[in-house]
C-alpha cells in the first residue's frame, strides 16, 4: 500500500510469531520497521532477515513494562530515525492457572506486559503524534477478552484491560486525527497456542471445541494464521480504514459467536 511507504512503524513483540509476520507485512508495503522485543537474539535474527530482503528495519531489545526504557527508546527513535506514524502493540504474555492456584507473580506479569506495557508504549508514542495530528495505533488483544476461558483469568483480564484502554485512547485522540483500533485474534497458529496443546491432537481439539472447558469450536473449521492478523493490521493502518477508530476486530473464525 503506497500510503504507508516510508512511514515509521513500531512493532512490539516483534520476535514472536505474530509480531514477526506483522513486521514483514508492513515492510513489504514500504514501512520502515522498528522492532521491539525482550528476546534480543531472535529479534536481531528477524530484523536481519528483513534487511536481507531489502527492507529498512532496526531493533531495540527492551522490556515494555519498564517505563524508563520505553521513554528512552521512543525518544531515540524520534530523534535518530524519524517520526513514528504507526504503532502496533503486539507484545503479549500467556500465564495459565485456575483461580485457586493462580500465582500473584503470574497475574502481575500478565498485566505488566499485556496492559501496562501497552499503556507505556502507547502514551509515549501518542504524545509525539498529537502535535503532528496524525497516526495509527493498533493493539493486538485476544478473543479471551470477550469470553471467559478456563485457566486464563490473568490473560483474559489483562487483554480486556488493554482493549478498553485502547478504545478510551481512541476517543481522546480522535480530535488529533489519531486512530486507535483493536484486533482480537482467536486460536492462531503460533508458539503461544501450541503451549496449550497437550498432545498431537491439540489442533483438532481446538477446532472441535471442548465441552469440559465450556469452549465452543471454530465454526470455520480451521485455525487462524498469523498472516490473517497481519493483513488486518495492514488494512487498519492504511487510508482504506481512514474512518475507523475505537473498533475491535475479532478474528477467530467465529469461535466467540460474534459476541
- Residue 29 sits in a domain of what CATH number? 3.40.50.720
| Catalytic (active site) residue 155 | yes
Q: Could you give the CA distance from residue 53 to residue 211 in angstroms, rounded to a whole number? A: 45
146 and 219 in a single domain? The answer is no
> What is the tens place of the pLDDT at every residue in 51-97?
999 999 999 999 999 999 999 999 999 999 999 999 999 999 999 99
> What is the tens place of the pLDDT at every residue in 186-236?
989 876 655 665 666 666 777 888 888 888 899 999 999 999 999 999 999
In a domain, 180, yes or no: yes
112 and 209 in a single domain? The answer is no
In a domain, 118, yes or no: yes
> What is the tens place of the pLDDT at every residue in 97-148?
999 999 999 999 999 999 999 999 999 999 999 999 999 999 999 999 999 9
171 and 206 in a single domain? The answer is no
91 and 214 in a single domain? The answer is no
In a domain, 258, yes or no: no
178 and 193 in a single domain? The answer is no
Q: Which of 55, 155, 176, 214 is catalytic?
A: 155
44 and 171 in a single domain? The answer is yes
In a domain, 44, yes or no: yes
Return the number of other C-beta atoms located less than 10 Å from residue 183's C-beta.
28
53 and 65 in a single domain? The answer is yes
**pTM for this structure?**
0.95
The position carrying cell 528476546 is 39
Question: Residue 76 is placed in which grid cell?
Answer: 531515540
179 and 102 in a single domain? The answer is yes
Helices 153-173 & 117-132 angle (0-180, nearest 10): 10
Domain that holds residue 23: 2-186+226-248
84 and 131 in a single domain? The answer is yes
Return the number of other C-beta atoms located less than 10 Å from residue 155's C-beta.
25
Question: Residue 143 is placed in which grid cell?
Answer: 478473543
pLDDT band at 241 (very low <50, low <70, confident <90, very high): very high
Domains contained in the chain, number: 2
In a domain, 255, yes or no: no
Q: Could you give the CA distance from residue 255 to residue 219 in angstroms, rounded to a whole number? A: 6
In a domain, 13, yes or no: yes
Residue 36, pLDDT score: 98
Please give the helix or strand (H or E) that residue 59 lies within, else none. Answer: strand 57-61
In a domain, 74, yes or no: yes
26 and 112 in a single domain? The answer is yes
137 and 217 in a single domain? The answer is no
In a domain, 80, yes or no: yes
219 and 125 in a single domain? The answer is no
Amino acid at each position: 500500500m503506497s500510503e504507508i511507504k516510508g512511514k515509521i512503524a513500531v512493532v512490539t513483540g516483534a520476535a514472536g510469531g505474530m509480531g514477526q509476520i506483522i513486521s514483514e507485512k508492513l515492510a513489504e508495503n514500504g514501512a520502515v520497521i522498528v522492532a521491539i522485543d525482550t528476546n534480543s537474539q531472535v529479534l536481531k535474527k528477524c530484523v536481519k532477515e528483513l534487511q536481507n530482503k531489502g527492507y529498512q528495519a532496526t531493533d531495540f531489545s527492551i522490556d515494555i513494562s519498564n517505563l524508563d526504557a520505553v521513554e528512552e527508546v521512543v525518544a531515540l527513535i524520534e530523534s535518530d530515525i524519524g517520526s513514528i506514524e504507526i504503532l502496533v502493540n503486539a507484545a503479549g504474555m500467556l500465564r495459565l492457572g485456575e483461580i485457586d492456584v493462580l500465582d500473584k507473580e503470574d497475574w502481575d506479569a500478565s498485566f505488566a506486559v499485556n496492559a501496562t506495557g501497552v499503556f507505556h508504549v502507547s502514551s509515549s508514542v501518542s504524545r509525539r503524534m498529537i502535535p503532528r495530528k496524525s497516526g495509527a495505533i493498533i493493539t493486538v488483544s485476544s478473543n479471551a477478552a470477550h469470553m471467559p476461558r478456563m485457566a486464563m483469568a490473568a490473560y483474559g483480564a489483562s487483554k480486556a484491560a488493554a482493549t478498553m484502554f485502547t478504545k478510551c485512547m481512541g476517543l481522546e485522540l480522535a480530535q488529533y486525527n489519531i486512530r486507535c483500533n483493536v484486533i482480537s485474534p482467536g486460536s492462531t497458529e503460533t508458539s503461544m497456542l501450541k503451549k496449550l496443546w497437550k498432545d498431537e491432537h491439540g489442533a483438532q481439539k481446538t477446532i472441535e471445541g471442548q465441552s469440559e472447558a465450556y469452549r465452543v469450536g471454530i465454526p470455520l473449521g480451521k485455525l487462524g494464521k498469523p498472516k490473517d492478523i497481519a493483513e488486518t493490521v495492514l488494512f487498519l493502518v492504511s487510508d482504506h480504514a481512514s474512518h475507523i477508530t475505537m473498533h475491535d476486530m475479532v478474528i477467530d473464525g467465529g469461535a466467540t459467536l460474534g459476541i
